[in-house]
Chains A and B, each alone.
Chain A
Amino acid sequence: MSAAHYVVKRKRTHSEPFDPLKLHASIVAACLAVRTLEGEAHLAAERVTRHVIEWLSSKTEVTSADLRRVASSHLQKYHSEAAYMYEHHVLIA
């Protein structure tokens, strides 16, 4: 993953390079929180992360809220319950 994509953090005090592993982990956590099998959680996280990376390809800087929104809209396709959890429980990861 290119480090050219930056994420403006919630309080807008700083921005940091986009970390796909962090996104992956947060999606896995959301899936596991709704009692998804670990393998399924990793599979969904992998797919969603791929979508997000594709979406990011035309952008240089986005907000963490953007990441959450885009990731949850894709997660919705694979696991709607986890998507709800991901979207509404900000501190889940």
Chain B
Amino acid sequence: MAKQKFDYDLIVIGNGAGGGVAADIVASSSKRVAIIEGDTLGGQCPNWGCVPTKALLHAANIYDAAKHGANFGIRAAAVGYNYPSVKAWKDLAVKRTGAATSQKYYQARGIHLFNGEAHFISPHEITVNRRHLSAEHFLVSTGSQWVIPDIVGLKNVPYLTPRTALDLIRPPKSIFIVGGGAVGVEFAELFSIFGSKVYIADFAPRLLPREDDEVGDMLGEHFTKHRGMSVLTKTKVTRVAREGIVTRVTYVRGGTEHTVKVDQVLIASGKTPTVDIGLENAGIEYSPKGIEVDEHLQTSAKHIYASGDVLGRYMYTHTAVYESRIVAHNLLNKNKVTPDYTAVPRVTFTTPEVASVGKSEADCLKRDLSIKTGIAPINIIGRSNIADQRDGFVKVITDRKGTLLGGTVVSPHAGEVIHELTLAIQHGMSAAEVANTLHAFPTWSEAVRVACTKIKL
């Protein structure tokens, strides 16, 4: 029987973190690979996600630290900022990732790039700008998009999304942020540092509702006391309307209707996988929560894999890259591997930073696991005294035998500190083993050791 011929061995739909890595690895094995990208090369993270937001936050934190230098004898009366220059810094950081100009790199690797929206028209064929391309295998890594909530009047008023908020030419005088998740709180902090009056609302009883209770409570208090924000938890935004140059936002909190007038409204109420690419025509099973895959990241059509945000599991760059590598391995090898999500770190870049890994306390309670917790406030360690940063804690969760299951760090540089716990959880270490490991004085990581010593068997 004649072998079925295809244009490519692999077509990757989406050039974000979940797609580019696999394309690169597979192409290096002399396979014919094509990438289809409907937006900017590199996808969300380097262009309008992690990189630009963290670049803006970095500038904001420098400004904030300078403003509060008086405690350390630093005169800061004349500190100011020029937002277009701050934005230029952000643009430079984005440009330096090289993502948007990676076309030459891919061409040099023999990977064909197509710019346009891909749409399956059959299990082995897609259409891109009316050009039909076929492949033996596909990787769907179309990422996710922001959910626009059903708020009365929202269609008739101009509003920001986390993508468009990056291109503001000046911080708004006041802003109402819908969504108290990681992205919402990062933008809240950013605009608050640059002087905006910030309202941040979420239906959940605290900010960062996916984290342990203590995290959201502490961050809410920090935002209210130190940043002057209005933190509106247990709040439902019901209506928005334009009034001249401002937007009137109506929300219900505690059974009472309130109204505020703000310059801008930012919608940051979560993301949903991008699945509208004709998956039905390829026989791929999916739900609005994402594409369903097996343990090898194969969809219900076995020649089609999926990775990254489109799976609806962990919407992080590092998990997307990890899954992309797994897919590349499984495409090239007979012994297929399975992703291991035991220790997925996640970081929210506020001040203090919030980082966590593994299971949260709520996860453990849902699974009816018998657990022990150890908490160390950061104000008991030397570094806290030196840096004059008092708010924060480290919390570790173990099973009954003391094996680490999860951890949360709320402190400066928590995003770095968390990786000690990530390593420990990934390799099944006990809290005692971490506690018995020397930690340098004076570092934030000492709080991890102290929290681990609080686990008593």
Contacts and interface: CB of A to CB of B under 8 A. Distances in A.
Q: Does B bind A?
A: yes
A72 to B, nearest CB: 12
Interface string A53-71: 0010011111101100100
B119 A59 contact: yes
A12 B280 contact: no
Contacts, number: 33
A61 B280 contact: no
Contacts of B278: 62-63, 66
B121 A8 contact: yes
A20 to B, nearest CB: 19
Given A65-B280, A65-B281, A69-B280, A60 B116 contact: yes
Interface stretch (B122-130, B359-367, B408-416, B434-442): B122-130
Contacts of A65: 280-281
Contacts of A6: 130
B263 interface: no
A58 B128 CA distance: 12
B117 interface: yes
Interface in A24-59: 55, 58-59
A58 B278 CA distance: 13
Interface string A4-17: 00101000100100
Contact of B130 (A12, A58, A60, A66): A60
Interface string B26-63: 00000000000000000000000000000000000000
Of residues A59, A61, A62, A69, which shows the largest number of chain B Cβ atoms within 10 Å of its Cβ? A61
B116 A66 contact: no
Contacts of A60: 116-117, 119, 127, 129-130
Instruction: Give chain A's interface secondary structure class.
Output: mixed
A59 to B, nearest CB: 6
Interface string B110-139: 000000110101100001011000000000
Interface residues of A, number: 14
B251 to A, nearest CB: 27
B122 A61 contact: no
B117 A58 contact: yes
A15 B122 CA distance: 14
Instruction: Name the residue in B117, B122, B127, B276 with the highest tally of chain A Cβ atoms < 10 Å from its Cβ.
Output: B127
Contacts of A59: 117, 119
Contacts of A58: 117
B128 to A, nearest CB: 8
B7 to A, nearest CB: 16
A22 B279 CA distance: 24
Interface string B256-296: 00000000000000000000101011000000000000000
| Shortest 3 CB-CB contacts between residues of A and residues of B | A61-B127, A61-B130, A8-B121
Interface of B: 116-117, 119, 121-122, 127, 129-130, 276, 278, 280-281
Interface of A: 6, 8, 12, 15, 55, 58-63, 65-66, 69
16 contacts: A6-B130, A8-B121, A8-B127, A58-B117, A60-B116, A60-B127, A60-B129, A60-B130, A61-B121, A61-B127, A62-B119, A62-B121, A63-B278, A63-B281, A66-B278, A69-B280
Given A60-B127, A63-B281, 8 more contacts: A8-B121, A15-B130, A60-B116, A61-B127, A61-B130, A65-B281, A66-B278, A66-B281
